[in-house]
Amino acid sequence: MAEQPMGLRERKKRQTAMRIWRSALDLFLERGYDKVSVAEIAAAADVSKMTVFNYFGTKEDVLLGPMEEHVSDAADAVREREPGESAVAALRRQFLVKVAERDPSIGLSGDHRLVQMRQLISDTPALARRMLTFQMRSVELLAEVLAEETGDRLLAGVAAHQLVAARGAVILENHRRLVAGDTVEEMADDCAALAERAFDLVEKGLQGYPASA
């Protein structure tokens, strides 16, 4: 089913959220995460401090909110997979589509500010911890989907950890190369090949898990 066109109110809300995010990112990159207040973010975005909190629950959310939107990507891929398709095949297919689309959520972005943002996250303990919670939540969501289908929570958890780890390793390599100065176009083919290898490795262990109904 085609997505419904976004209404004017929703478009304005998204525009405001993006303006807040961009203003915050500019300040964080200029002065460091810990040295910027929510009040300063609000002033830079030309909104009230209350408006910032209406859109983002915490200062961490202001920066990491767009990333949190992708926490369910792995679970969605498995839940919505084709009949008879394994979990590994579903995640592989989803990931290769993202590679083809040069999706920033897997580290394929030519925007130098996003590269700087990734470095900022790595250098800021509070943000790095939050990213770790995103990864664990991704595992939990995927495990829930697999457990609902198979009835085996233990194996669902094992499979989810392996799948999310394989996916995350490829993304981490993308970020490493971006920081090293490689371009997205230079990386794309290598990224697809690396993803194939990573998912091949997991598939050998999972052996087509879960069995198709």
SS (H, E, C) the chain: CCCCCCCHHHHHHHHHHHHHHHHHHHHHHHHCHHHCCHHHHHHHHCCCHHHHHHHCCCHHHHHHHHHHCCCCHHHHHHHCCCCCCCHHHHHHHHHHHHHHCCCHHHCCCCCHHHHHHHHHHHHCHHHHHHHHHHHHHHHHHHHHHHHHHHCCHHHHHHHHHHHHHHHHHHHHHHHHHHHHCCCHHHHHHHHHHHHHHHHHHHHHHHCCCCCCC
Indicate if 42 and 74 belong to the same structural domain.
Answer: no
Indicate if 16 and 38 belong to the same structural domain.
Answer: yes
Q: Does 208 score more than 80 pLDDT? A: no
Query: How much is the pLDDT for 60?
Result: 94
Number of domains in the chain: 2
Residue of 206 and 139 predicted with greater confidence: 139
Q: Does 87 score more than 50 pLDDT? A: yes
Indicate if 80 and 53 belong to the same structural domain.
Answer: no
Indicate if 23 and 102 belong to the same structural domain.
Answer: no
The single residue listed with the structure tokens 């084709």 is: 82
SS3 sequence of 101-151: CCCHHHCCCCCHHHHHHHHHHHHCHHHHHHHHHHHHHHHHHHHHHHHHHHC
In a domain, 105, yes or no: yes
Amino acid at 83: P
18 is in which domain, residue-wise? 8-57
Q: Does 184 score more than 50 pLDDT? A: yes
Indicate if 146 and 77 belong to the same structural domain.
Answer: yes
Indicate if 97 and 197 belong to the same structural domain.
Answer: yes
pTM of the model: 0.86
% pLDDT > 90, the chain = 78
Indicate if 167 and 101 belong to the same structural domain.
Answer: yes
Mean pLDDT, residues 136-147 taken together? 98
Indicate if 88 and 15 belong to the same structural domain.
Answer: no
Mean pLDDT, residues 71-82 taken together? 96
Q: Residue 37 is part of a domain; what is its CATH number? A: 1.10.10.60
Indicate if 108 and 158 belong to the same structural domain.
Answer: yes
Indicate if 200 and 151 belong to the same structural domain.
Answer: yes
Query: How much is the pLDDT for 112?
Result: 86
In a domain, 2, yes or no: no
* 30-67 confidence digits (pLDDT tens): 999 999 999 999 999 999 999 999 999 999 999 998 89
In a domain, 213, yes or no: no
In a domain, 53, yes or no: yes
